[in-house]
A and B are shown apart, each in its own frame.
Chain A
Amino acid sequence: MADEGQQQVDKAGRQIFKVPKEKLLEFMRARKDEGFNHLSLITGVDRKDHIEVVYHLHSVEQDRYIVVKTTTNNCTVPSVTSLWRSANWDEREQWDLMGIKFEGHPNLKRMFLPESWVGHPLRKDYDLGNVQYINMDEDGEDYSTFDPGDGW
């Protein structure tokens, strides 16, 4: 395993692998074959000039836990939904709040915010001054608006 990716150890003693995003799918498939059957979380870090995507993998049988990191300059990384089904919602959440596009995701829609929300709020360059509101239409569907208007 050590031959692929750059390797470090974090404070909790977990191995960290830094993998270029071109090799991510291949690397992840190898990890899954090794027995990492639980993708415990996907998260994103905004480093201002690039985005870091972090995957935590857990092997239930072997009681092992590793961290895989990859970076992207254009906010796209390959989706791992084909390997772990649980990646589906995790990736949608990252798309919603961090604006990371996962190529090959079957249904990359916003997870929490309405589709019409402008921007991705956990990004460093998100404009908090431009307040958005959410209203509900007749069918109970949410829509976002910049104008407080009715109901506010």
Chain B
Amino acid sequence: MDKVKDGDFGIITTTLENAMEWGRSNSLWPLTFGLACCAIEMMAMQGANYDVARFGSEIFRNSPRQSDLMIVAGTVTKKMAPRVKRLYDEMPFPKYVIAMGVCVIQGGPYVKGYSVVLGVDKVIPVDVYVPGCPPTPEALIFGITTLQKRIRGESDR
């Protein structure tokens, strides 16, 4: 083996768009935003054990103006819905939404109640749905990688 470390690693050709999508998908910054019990699993996903940092998504931002991913983790009550919408409106483009848990998908255990929004997609558009009550951190990581594939324009499967 007479390989020399000379800094010459050849030429990679790609389109600017592909490079942008690759970068964008691997640096998703979620909004620090939890509404109910699902948020605990979201925090577990971010912690050392599951370590979503491996997928470039660990920097939870406290301001919607710095984030491009909203993980809606927990029951969206009717009173919260206008606030969720306002936070979503404050996020800069491009922005993505993951609906985490059955509450957020269609009302879940509270589907017959008076106070819960039957699906956050009635208020804001959703890209990926992660079912479960609550979904495991693995499931949420799967949701994030699915979203990354979509951003890169790859097939989900």
Contacts and interface: CB of A to CB of B under 8 A. Distances in A.
Interface residues of A, number: 14
Interface in B69-117: 78-79, 81-83, 85-86, 112, 114-115
Which range contains the number of B residues in contact with the other chain? 10 to 19
Contact of A134 (B81, B86, B112, B122): B81
Contacts, number: 28
A133 B123 CA distance: 11
A126 B113 CA distance: 11
Contact of A152 (B79, B115, B123): B123
A151 B79 contact: no
A136 B86 CA distance: 10
Interface string A84-128: 000000000000000000000000000011000000010000101
Contacts of B83: 136
Given A151-B123, A152-B123, A136 B112 contact: no
Nearest to A130: B114
- Most chain B beta-carbon neighbours within 10 Å: one of A112, A136, A148: A136
A135 interface: yes
Contacts of A152: 81, 122-123
- What 7 A-B pairs are tightest by C-beta distance, nearest first? A136-B82, A121-B114, A134-B78, A134-B79, A151-B85, A135-B82, A152-B122
